Amino acid sequence: MEESSKVVHAIYTDDDTLMSAVKKVKAEKYHIEEVFTPFPVHGLDKAMGLAPTRIAIASFLYGLTGLTVAILMMNYMMIEDWPQNIGGKPSFSYFHNMPAFIPIMFELTVFFAAHLMVITFYLRSKIWPFRKPQNPDPRTTDDHFLMEVAVDGNESELLKLLNGTGAVEVNLVDKAH
């Protein structure tokens, strides 16, 4: 078995125990490949040393795209293409009709931001239709937490460390298979 394809799976039954274990493993300078949890664990990304996400910036840009589409669409439809006199409102200026257009601008801003964020999340996570699940242990979708740590010629020390962190199960696994 090639050394670089081996990982250790440490399974926990409590999120606080997992957080403590992640901090101990990081303090010992081991590389945590991934952590699988049945629900989001607050502060786990910071404890693992992950970089902050830029998804809020993407959301803002998607919202601006939606707002721009709404403004251009309403200006073309209601002012340029087919101006109508609705309730005595002037049909020659977008600016004079803007209060009536605010709900449409809001809805398209939210629509674009929400839908493009979901698409971005799926593409970024490499989740697409018909992709085989990558979960190493189905119990992590119910009530267990799994920490996957890379083995780099330090197998016995790593197993000893993980057994001392409160793991209910520690397994050496070959990721190549």
CATH C-level class of 3-38+143-174? alpha beta
Are the C-beta atoms of 161 and 23 separated by less than 8 Å? no
Q: What is the mean pLDDT of residues 112-127?
A: 92
Asked whether the predicted pLDDT for residue 120 surpasses 90, the reply is yes
Quote the percentage of the chain above a pLDDT of 70. 96
Contacts 24+ apart (CB under 8 A), 155-163: 155/6, 155/8, 158/8, 158/30, 159/8, 161/24, 161/25, 161/28, 161/30, 162/8, 162/10, 162/21, 162/25
